Structure 1
Amino acid sequence: MLTRSTRSTVTFSNEFTIGDSQRELPAGTYEVVIEEELLQGLSFEAYRRTVTYLMVLGRGRNAGQTTMQMTTKEDLEHAIACDRAVSETTSNSEAALSPLEDTT
C-alpha cells in the first residue's frame, strides 16, 4: 500500500479547541500533516485521507516537545471557521473602534 504525507500550516488568531478535546491551544501557527493512501484498482491515481494531525508544540515544562494531535478534516475546518468568526466579531466590536466625538 502506497501512502503519502502532505504538510501545510494554519494560523489561529485566538485561543482555540479542536474536536472533543477540552485542551485550549494558544493562538499561533500550527503545522498540519495529512496522510493519505493510494486507492488500488482504479484506472486513475486517487488517494484517500487516512489521518489528519495537528502538530502542537509543548509549553512550560514541556517546551521542546511536539505532539501530534489526531483530528479530522471537519474538526479542523470547524476550528478555523470559529477562529475567523471570533476575529471578525472582535474587530467589529464598538470597543475596538475609536470613540465618537461629542459634538453637543
Structure 2
Amino acid sequence: MANRTTQAIVHFKNAFLLPGFDKPQPAGEYRVDHDEEPIEGVSRLAWHRVGSFIHLPGIGVKMSTHQMVPINAADLDAALEKDNKTS
C-alpha cells in the first residue's frame, strides 16, 4: 500500500517560533502536511506519521517565494497549545 499525505490548517492568534526557524512567524493560518505510511500486519488499516511540513508564508500572505519547511509535529502541537493559553 502507498504512503499518503494528509493536510490540515492550523491557526495561530499570536506570532510563534518553532525550533529551527530563524525568526518568529506572524499570527495567521498555515497549511500543514503530514506524511504517513501504513502499518503492516494489523487487522485494521492504521497509519504512522513519518514527517510533517508547514507551508510558509501563511495562507493569504503575498510573497514571491513559498517554502515547505520540515517540522516536528510535537513541536507544532506544543506551539498551538501555548498560543491557545496566551489568548
Instruction: Give the partner amino acid of 1:36.
Output: E
Cα distance in 2 between the residues matched to 1:3 and 1:83: 31
Unpaired runs of 5+ residues, structure 2, are none
Cα distance in 2 between the residues matched to 1:20 and 1:40: 32
Alignment of 1:70 onto 2:75: no
Shift in CA distance, 37/30, structure 1 to aligned 2, threshold 3 Å: same
Which residue of structure 2 aligns with residue 56 of structure 1? Answer: 56
Question: How far off is 1:53 after superposition?
Answer: 0.8
Secondary structure of the structure 2 residue equivalent to 1:23: coil
Question: How far off is 1:71 after superposition?
Answer: 1.1
Which residue of structure 2 aligns with residue 102 of structure 1? Answer: none
Secondary structure of the structure 2 residue equivalent to 1:79: helix
Question: How far off is 1:22 after superposition?
Answer: 4.1
Contact 1:57 1:64 survives alignment (8 Å): no
Q: What TM-score comes out, normalization by structure 1 length?
A: 0.71
Matches within 5 A, 1:74-93: 74-87=74-87
Identity %: 30
Q: Which runs of 4+ in 1 moved over 4 A?
A: none
Which residue of structure 1 aligns with residue 12 of structure 2? Answer: 12
Unpaired runs of 5+ residues, structure 1, are 88-104
- Structure having the higher Rg: 1
Shift in CA distance, 15/34, structure 1 to aligned 2, threshold 3 Å: same
Residues matched between the structures, number: 84
Question: How far off is 1:20 after superposition?
Answer: 4.2
